[in-house]
Structure 1
Amino acid sequence: MASLSVRGVDDDLAKALKRRAKESDKSVNQIVVEILRKAVGLEKEKKFTEVHTDLDHLFGLWSEEEFNEIQGEIDAGRRIDKELWR
């Protein structure tokens, strides 16, 4: 495994890297390697890693009839009119 030295790191960048390392309980080196891997396309950034609960209070409120009506509208909107695509 190779080692690299990075020169010209200003104070703001160094502080930001240290802050991110502390927040994620990793070393600054680990953070820099992760950033570099993502920047050159060797590692894709994870999406949708947060769990959202802001709509949980709505869970289970629709009756089956309401669900079927809404789902029918959604399905109708997804149908492709083949005549339009000729």
Structure 2
Amino acid sequence: MQQVTIRGLGEDIERAIRKMASDNGKSMNQVIKEIIHKEFEKSRRPASSLSEMAGGWSRPEAAEFEAAIQSCEQIDEDLWK
């Protein structure tokens, strides 16, 4: 495979990659390849749970939904007479 150059990562990301490489005794190239492979393998794995397969909400998204349907949770006493 040909060489690929990555530009504009940002200092914080480069520092994190360098630390991962150093902590694990690997080259930056190997760490970056592992990150890329892990990302692509994740998209090919079968879902291990329903939330992975159907998608899931973050806590803020769930809270927003709960707030939006709050009025639907109220019982209209006149309708139950």
Give me the TM-score of the superposition, normalised by structure 2: 0.49
Q: Normalized per residue, which structure has more helix?
A: 2
Higher Cα Rg: structure 1 or 2? 1
Give me the TM-score of the superposition, normalised by structure 1: 0.46
